[in-house]
Chain A
Amino acid sequence: MLEKAFKGSRLYRNWLLCLLGLMALGLFFYLIQLREGLTVTGMSRDVSWGLYIGQFTFIVGVAASAVMLVLPYYLHNVKEFGRITVLGEFLAVSSVIMCLLFIIVDMGMPTRLFNVLIYATPHSVMFWDMVVLNGYLLLNILIAWNVLEAERNSVAPPKWVKALIYVSIPWAFSIHTVTAFLYSGLAGRDFWLTALIAPKFLASAFATGPALLIILTYILKRYANFDAGKAAVQKLSLIVTYALVITLFMIAVEFFTAFYSKVPGHMLSLRYLFMGIEGHGKLVPLMWLFVVLAVFALVILLNPKMRRNDGALLLACVAVFVSMLIEKGISFVVGGFIPNPFETVTEYVPTLPEIMVSLGIWAVGLFLLSVFYKLVVSVKAEVE
């Protein structure tokens, strides 16, 4: 089946070559990082996690969001999603692989990676994160491949695959919950120490993932002659709308608790992010970009007429994706480290090597996604 993925138009092949180039560039900068150490990044003693762990956290959400297709289709028989559920599953596969890569590039001693297995430590949330992420990867590889294979042979997927699909639904929630627990169980970091992190992560993931899927269906329609169907896109857009409203609500209530209670620890990180403290405010413009994009998307999505307009919906989805990327992929992690335990501010700005390594990992994810989607589209074209 895989051979289909590499027979394509010139545009498709050039796109893959571009991604390969970006991967090579990322690898080059990663080799520099391996030689020099994490000193080539913008991270510091005070802000000891940065872009890598931020991107990891954000992309776990993208992976989890496949459930927004799987759950309606398999539990509620939402037929509109029949054609695209497998797209969600392959998106999950590509994103979990990106997550694992982001973890590896963040490690100071990547050669000791397997110490996490050799000295498995169940009281560490990181151990459980490894378990649920790898489990989710395996589940989705098995499911997506078998569902597609069955479709190609015009038969129903085997029974055991159906069982795995049901397991994958709560599993999707677990990956983002456990990722949230990496943060929300740390007593010393006021910004993260709230039970709201897991639900907020899930809500923003369910806005981001479906928004990305809508963008992807547009691309597939334009370049791959694959139409997901207007009904499916509209259903997805409704999910994005509700999830975005819930996410922004949860972000807003944090402000109330912090600024009405006036407990300094709760106010400081938010103040740093949105207003700056003691003249430090490198993230302030980015945070206001997040606000503007989120409000812009909200206005379009809440307005049914605009939401039904293809162009407007596409713009809104891009805005949702970028705003959530800022909020979860950058500010959430960095904000937790500022101020430091001595209430002083050390700022964080990612460096060129850090950005290039991250882009390289994005290229890996996009490469895998392109190959998978090419496969899906070819199989569907063959069957039809």
Chain B
Amino acid sequence: MLGLGTLPIASALAGTGQERFSPAPKALAGKRWAMVVDINKCDNCMKCQRACHAAHNVPDIKDREEEVKWIWSEPFEKVFPGLENKYVGHGAQKHHCMVMCNHCENPACVRVCPTKATYKREDGIVMMDYHRCVGCRYCMAACPYGARSFNFQDPRPCIKQKNLEYPARRKGVVEKCNFCAERLAAGLLPLCVEACPRNVLAFGDLENPHSQVRKLLTTRLALQRRVELGTHPNVYYLV
């Protein structure tokens, strides 16, 4: 009995000195993941949102004030307040922009979280540990982008079709977009990128000069939200 009971410990000790967890062979590796959103291509069809919210068990809360959302669309002038110009009647300003967590290089949410329930990974993804979050909502006060949602109520009754591959949250914790970390680990691109029929969204490693996102950023002027705050967002908007 004792022998069997200590077996897992013994095998764990045997692994010291090596990486205890190695990424799956197919996993996508990156140093600084980023999203590039081509505003002009987007027709606001919301297929990206539907795919994302279904896969991540994001509840469909009817009360607008208590909504939970990972990716959604806002008019240009709301996303870039102060950049709108009433004399230009065409171009990017007419469009809606898909918004999500910016996975900041310098995330305010991570700085303020009292339990490290939200933390930044080495590849730049700002993650949430739903099991550690105490629900103080300090991160929501700190996020300059309104990217975070709090589960004011039990989300489970509001999930239409549960995806058993991904955890559902419970009431009292904060959540947000995770750049589909679970899909990257399996070698897949984020769902919103895959679901978009018009190639609005592109995802890749900014540190890799041959990545699609790097190439796109050389083609046109790209905006980031509220750069003056020094957060260095990793979501870019091509205008």
B-binding residues in A (CB < 8 A): 36-39, 41, 43-46, 48-49, 103, 106-110, 112-113, 115-116, 118-119, 121, 123-127, 130, 182-183, 185-189, 264, 336-337, 340-344, 346
Give the residues in chain B near A108, CB-CB below 8 Å. Answer: 133-137, 150-151, 171-174
Q: Are A119 and B142 in contact (CB under 8 A)?
A: no
Cβ-based interface call for B81 (8 A): yes
Instruction: Give every chain A residue within 8 A of B150 (Cβ-Cβ).
Output: 38, 45, 48, 108
Q: Are B65 and A37 in contact (CB under 8 A)?
A: no
B79 contacts chain A at the CB level, 8 A cutoff? yes
Asked if A37 meets B146 with Cβ closer than 8 Å, knowing A115-B115, A188-B229, the reply is: no
Indicate if the CB atoms of A342 and B74 lie closer than 8 Å. yes
Residues of B near A119 (CB, < 8 A) are: 114-117, 132
B152 in complex: contacting residue of A39, A337, A343, CB < 8 Å: A39
- Chain A CB within 8 A of B215 CB: no
Contacts of B35 in A (CB 8 A): none
Contact B81–A36 (Cβ < 8 Å)? no
Q: In whole Å, how far is B75's beta carbon from the nearest beta carbon of chain A? A: 9
A46 touches B65 (CB 8 A): yes
> Are the CB atoms of B153 and A187 closer together than 8 Å?
no
Contacts of A116 in B (CB 8 A): 114-115, 134
In the complex, chain B residues 73-116 whose Cβ is within 8 Å of any chain A Cβ: 74, 78-79, 81-82, 108, 111-116
Do A124 and B111 contact each other (CB < 8 Å), given the known contacts A44-B65, A109-B172, A341-B146?
Answer: yes
Encode contact with A along B47-76: 1 for CB under 8 Å, 0 otherwise: 000000000000000010111000000100
Report the minimal beta-carbon distance from B38 to chain A, rounded to whole angstroms. 21
Digitize B188-214: 1 where CB-to-A-CB distance is under 8 Å, 0 elsewhere.
Answer: 000000000000000000000000000
Taking a contact as CB atoms under 8 Å apart, the answer to whether A344 and B78 are in contact is: yes
Contacts A38-B150, A125-B112 given; 8 further ones with Cβ under 8 A? A37-B154, A45-B140, A45-B149, A108-B133, A115-B117, A119-B115, A130-B114, A342-B81
Pairwise interchain contact B152-A106, C-beta atoms closer than 8 A:
no
Contacts of A37 in B (CB 8 A): 151-154, 171-172
The interface residues of chain B lying within 8 Å CB-to-CB of A41 are 152
Q: Are A336 and B141 neighbours in the complex by a CB distance under 8 Å?
A: yes
State how many angstroms separate the Cβ of B146 from the closest Cβ of chain A: 4
- Closest CB of chain A to B226's CB: distance in Å? 7
List chain B residues, Cβ under 8 A from A336: 141
Contact status B229-A187, CB under 8 Å: yes
Of the residues A49, A341, A344, contact of B145 by C-beta under 8 Å: A341
